[in-house]
Amino acid sequence: MTTPDTAADWRPETQAVADRIRTRVLDHVLRSNGGYMSQALSSAEIFAMLYTRTLRLGPSTAPMIPRPFSGVPGPNNPEFFNGGDYNGPKASDLDRFIFSPAHYALVLYTALIETGRLAEEGLDQFNQDGTTVEMIGAEHSPGVETTTGSLAQALSQAAGIALARKRRGDTGDVWVMMSDGEFQEGQIWEAISEAAKYELDNLKVIVDVNGQQCDGCIDPSIYVDPLTNRIRAFGASAVEVDGHDLDALDAAMSAQTGKPHFVMALTDPARGLPIFAERAPLLHYLRFTSEEERDRYQQVYEEMVN
Amino acid sequence: MEIVKRPHVENFIAWAEDKPEVVVLTADLTNSSEVGKWRDTYPDRFFGMSMAEQNVMGFAAGLAREGYVPFIHTFAVFIYRRPYDQLAMSIAYPNLPVKFIAFLPGITTPGGVTHQAIEDVAIMRATPNMTILETGDATEVESVLDIAYAIDGPVYVRMLRGEVPRLFPKDEPMQLDKVRVLSEGDDVVVVTSGITTEEAMRAARPLADAGIGMKHLHVSTHKPFNDPVILESIEASRYGVVTLENHTIIGGLGSAVAEKMADAGSGKRLLRLGLRDTYAHGASRPHLMKEYGLDAAALVAGVEELTGSSTGITEEDLASSRVEATHSLAKAEGL
């Protein structure tokens, strides 16, 4: 049981990491004249919680400056490396982090930077030819253990890992970060059913419920409240929380329910950057339409960092 | 010819006994994939995962990443058609040691178009990191497990079930990327795999009696496909090569042979027999093999086309032709 005094200690640092994720991603988007902005705004607290509070990880065993692309996995490529080593070693008492919506790669890389696992220069390689800091990562990218850019495949893979770990008697959990759009794929429902059947209480999922997908808004009447209830109906536990409230996230993410556990983090895709909301409903990717618009964002950025 | 009843059932149980990392995943078709008794023997290593193949691929991938060697048992069509994205991205790209035991290859089932895997070899050949094996008899059903297990990556196995003939001696197991030379002859080369091999063996004696020298090569590895015997035999033949496959002629065995010939600049003729860019329908195996030209008579017709002369061989000649277990002649050459 954490004492209130100790509990008070973690919040400022976790919030600072979340704030820095937003500003660093905004800075990157400004300099690249475009990028996945809303993902950072909605999930900054989620990633900050995972990397500073929830995940039990050892120190990174990967280089601070990302390794260049060295070929794809295969029988003839001993040079291949797995980017999961940014999350530290695999050990029975440590957690594993499985990153599902690969389009959040920029947010993941930024979270690694803000928690000391990746050099900030690493972001200079983002989307540059010959690097592993890919726009939509694969399992050589920093922090990425499984290849999940084809959305909704991570949960089944994580469940297989959780099943293996349970058989082995590991005490560490398998954490999956997902986005709400992925629940449109049928595979997710297959995975929840089987994970519940095998009583994988070591499988934990944090979902960024930001109501956004490539084409625009996800119909909230289908994908919010019924989503949580549907997950429960498929045999897992699910709880809705304010995805920007650190205490609420902490309570939901540390719950032990005896089932695969889903934390539905309800988030605002323009959180911390109100002018971004003007672009609603198309928030999936930010591309400046004029120099004037870019200048307005630049001004906001200056205010955020000063 | 010996007919072996369900050779996979007991063989797989005995084989897996000292391999605790081997686990089996099914997608509802447990008895249909001949692992019902395996489940009862090793309940702790068996995962019956419902009709949810996309999820089965992911679970298998996760188990493989943690050191298990998953053997997915189901019908071939439910491995490479419905969950192909999961197969490719969750398993093949990371080169995980998942073994796909794929039943009902080609027209071996009366289940019709939905159950007949007629383009699986083509799709798996186009999938990087995938090894593709095909069983042609009971000896290969028994020995394919060692080959698949020894490969540190995904392996797709076209598997036979039920009553399976023993064409090859028990002491001549399948070997990776090695063809079996079942007969010698310098007129035509015939390349077969799976159930079409028995058909070519049926045609061997009548063709020999008609004065046609057939060099018969049996293929059990579709990928990799580098045994030099294939191209050497074709180059040495008088008339060229006929391929006969239980698969569409696009992308499978015939295409693999064609690629080798084209790469080498071969001037020999190639005749590809198999399903001619068509789906099939539900009917008995003999009926479908005759209808789609996958049987011994189709092969004889192909040989006649290649040699440009009639053999006079009748359906009766082929029906009465006995098929006996045949030692690979390649073994003698290898000594």
Mean pLDDT over each residue of chain B, to the nearest integer = 96
Question: B331: pLDDT confidence band, cut at 50, 70 and 90?
Answer: very low
B151 and B194 co-located in one domain: no
Lowest mean pLDDT among A55-64, A80-89, A225-234: A225-234
| pLDDT value at A184 more than 80 | yes
Q: Which residue has the tokens 């860019």?
A: B277
Give Cα separations from A73 to A11, A80, A201, B54, B219 (angstroms): 40, 6, 31, 21, 28
Identify the closest residue of chain A to B69 by CA–CA distance. Answer: A164
Q: Does B155 touch chain A (CB under 8 A)?
A: no
Q: What is the mean predicted confidence (pLDDT) over A26-32? A: 94
Encoded amino acid at B325, one letter: A
Residue B124 is predicted with a pLDDT of 98
Which residues in B lie closer than 8 A to residue A148 (C-beta atoms)? 89
B49 and B123 co-located in one domain: yes
Read off the tokens for B301.
């017709």
| pLDDT value at B330 more than 90 | no
Shortest alpha-carbon distance between residue A298 and chain B (Å): 39
- Render pLDDT for A161-181 as a digit per residue (tens, 0 to 9): 999 999 999 999 999 999 999
Encoded amino acid at A180, one letter: D
Question: B115: pLDDT confidence band, cut at 50, 70 and 90?
Answer: very high
| Cβ-defined contact of B52 to A190 (cutoff 8 Å) | yes
| pLDDT value at A216 more than 80 | no
B78: left (phi over 0), alpha (psi -120 to 50) or beta: alpha
Question: A8: pLDDT confidence band, cut at 50, 70 and 90?
Answer: low
Domain coordinates in residue numbering, chain A: 4-63+82-305
Which residues in A lie closer than 8 A to residue B85 (C-beta atoms)? 150, 153
- Render pLDDT for A70-93 as a digit per residue (tens, 0 to 9): 999 999 999 999 999 999 999 999
B150 and B287 co-located in one domain: no
- B103 Cβ neighbours under 8 A, 6+ residues apart: B29, B32, B33, B34, B73, B74, B75, B76, B159, B160, B161
Q: Where among B112, B136, B165 does a domain terminate?
A: B165
Question: A211: pLDDT confidence band, cut at 50, 70 and 90?
Answer: confident
Q: Which CATH number goes with the domain that contains B117?
A: 3.40.50.970
ipTM: 0.94
Residue A17 is predicted with a pLDDT of 98
Q: Where among B141, B165, B189 does a domain terminate?
A: B165
Q: Which CATH number goes with the domain that contains B184?
A: 3.40.50.920
Return d(Cα A96, Cα A99) in angstroms, integer.
10
- Render pLDDT for B233-271 as a digit per residue (tens, 0 to 9): 999 999 999 999 999 999 999 999 999 999 999 999 999
Residue A117 is predicted with a pLDDT of 98
- The full length of chain A comes to 306
Q: What is the mean predicted confidence (pLDDT) over A147-155? A: 96
| pLDDT value at A224 more than 80 | no
Return d(Cα A136, Cα B196) in angstroms, integer.
45
Q: Does B84 touch chain A (CB under 8 A)?
A: no
| Domain-embedded: residue B174 | no
Encoded amino acid at B285, one letter: R
B7 and B125 co-located in one domain: yes
Strand, helix or coil for residue A268? coil
- Structural domain containing residue B319: 180-330
Read off the tokens for B212.
């046609």
B77 and B196 co-located in one domain: no
Q: Which residue has the tokens 């191209």?
A: B231
| Cβ-defined contact of A191 to B94 (cutoff 8 Å) | no
B220 and B189 co-located in one domain: yes
| pLDDT value at B25 more than 90 | yes
A213 alpha carbon, distance to own chain's centre: 15
| pLDDT value at A3 more than 90 | no
- CATH of A4-63+82-305, picked from 3.40.50.970, 2.70.150.10, 1.10.260.40, 3.30.2000.10, is 3.40.50.970
Q: Does B98 touch chain A (CB under 8 A)?
A: no
Question: Which of A221-230, A277-286, B291-300 has the highest mean predicted lDDT (pLDDT)?
Answer: B291-300
| Domain-embedded: residue B57 | yes
| Domain-embedded: residue B137 | yes
Which of B51, B55, B91, B130 to mutate against chain A (most A CBs within 10 Å)? B55
Which residues in A lie closer than 8 A to residue B58 (C-beta atoms)? 153-157, 159-160, 187, 191
Mean pLDDT over each residue of chain A, to the nearest integer = 94
Name the residue among A72, A150, A160 with its Cβ closest to that of B59: A160
Return d(Cα B321, Cα B315) in angstroms, integer.
10
Residue A55 is predicted with a pLDDT of 98
Read off the tokens for A85.
């080593």
- Render pLDDT for B148-190 as a digit per residue (tens, 0 to 9): 999 999 999 999 999 999 999 999 999 999 999 999 999 999 9
Which residues in A lie closer than 8 A to residue B95 (C-beta atoms)? 73-75
In terms of pLDDT, which residue wins out, A112 or A35? A112
Q: What is the mean predicted confidence (pLDDT) over B67-96? A: 98
Which residues in B lie closer than 8 A to residue A193 (C-beta atoms)? 50, 52, 55
| Cβ-defined contact of B50 to A193 (cutoff 8 Å) | yes
Name the residue among B52, B55, B94 with its Cβ closest to that of A73: B94
